[in-house]
Amino acid sequence: MNWLRTFEAAARHSSFAAAADELNLTSAAVSQQIKLLEETLEVKLFKRLPKGVELTDIGQAYAQPVRTSFLDLQTATNGLFASKQKTTLRIRASISFGVLVLAPRLNEFRALHPEIEIILSTTIWSDRMSDTTIDVDIRYGTGDWAEQDIWPLPQGDATLVCNPKDAALLQRDPSRLKDADIVPIIGSENDWPAMFQKLGLDGQPPHPWMLVDSSLLALETIARGRGIAIVNQMFSMAHIERGNLVEPLRQALKPQNNFYTVAQPNPKKRQQITLFHDWLKTITG
């Protein structure tokens, strides 16, 4: 390989001296390597001239495939092994958003931006970035937090969801909701009085059959065949598409709070954070 590398450089420069400068060798070393290659191949590759060298016909024919081979090797090496400029974004989201919205779609973002690596973690409640390694927090609330970089995400509607059997009963008689096994989500308990008012039902909602701290738990609970919950449509969509949950009534509520992208003020990752937020808007809108 050393002989071939020396031959390619000498052929390209038409000079042993120039090849020696490029390869950090002496002119004598270049001349010796060319001589050894010629003896091995049993042909003359160069004509030695008073000033410089010139390829023989066979040398000219050999130089092209040797040069092409080195270029192909360089291209393959760069493509497979060269270090790429990658950025890691550490994303934290509520457990419902992380499991039901982000995890199923992150492959789409990675396909669009393979240079951005994602580390995803979840939490139940979050109102501050206590962990300085987090770059982006997807947070639910009113948006009145201490951080400066806070951008709202599209706000989805919340609807009633239950199993198909209970849905058929409620569609025939919505007043059955007064005796239903409701599953309120902590932090959104006020959705139930609002839904009763929207449906024109008198009185207070029934006592909770089960109280849960996330939409994920509410959906998994009622998907087993019992209970009814009020859940943001971006969370319930997958269950509804699979047919194991149904929206029994058309009434929808605008949630009092919203999801926001909250970012660390990191100038080095600003562009990547913006790309991630813009993509989030497309999958939640």
E runs forming strands in the chain: 46-48, 53-55, 87-94, 116-123, 136-141, 149-152, 158-162, 228-232, 252-253, 258-263
Instruction: State how far the alpha carbon of 122 is from the alpha carbons of 8, 29, 57, 100, in Å.
Output: 56, 63, 69, 11
The predicted model scores a pTM of 0.66
The residue to which tokens 């009534």 are assigned: 249
In this predicted structure, what is the pLDDT of residue 81?
65
The phi and psi torsions of 242 (rounded to 5 degrees) equal -80, -15
Separation between Cα atoms, residue 165 and residue 246, nearest integer Å: 9
Average pLDDT value over all residues in the chain: 90
Separation between Cα atoms, residue 46 and residue 14, nearest integer Å: 9
In this predicted structure, what is the pLDDT of residue 285?
75
Separation between Cα atoms, residue 207 and residue 162, nearest integer Å: 17
Separation between Cα atoms, residue 252 and residue 282, nearest integer Å: 21
185 closest CA partner among 212, 224, 220, 221:
212
Contact residues for 269 (Cβ-Cβ < 8 A; gap 6+)? 87, 89, 135
Separation between Cα atoms, residue 14 and residue 113, nearest integer Å: 45
182: DSSP letter? B
Amino acid at position 138, single letter: I
- Residues 143-167 pLDDT 10s: 888 888 999 998 889 999 999 999 9
- Say how many Å lie between the first and final Cα of the chain, rounded: 58
- Residues 217-270 pLDDT 10s: 999 999 988 999 999 999 999 999 989 899 999 899 998 888 999 998 888 899
Kindly indicate the confidence band of residue 211, based on its pLDDT and cuts at 50, 70 and 90.
very high
Share of residues in the chain with pLDDT > 70 (%): 95
- The better pLDDT of the pair 123, 276 is held by 276
Amino acid at position 23, single letter: L
- Residues 82-114 pLDDT 10s: 555 688 999 999 999 999 999 999 999 999 999
In this predicted structure, what is the pLDDT of residue 84?
54
In this predicted structure, what is the pLDDT of residue 82?
53
Amino acid at position 281, single letter: K
Enumerate domains of the chain plus CATH numbers: 2-81 (1.10.10.10), 87-155+257-284 (3.40.190.10), 158-253 (3.40.190.10)
Kindly indicate the confidence band of residue 127, based on its pLDDT and cuts at 50, 70 and 90.
low
Amino acid at position 279, single letter: W
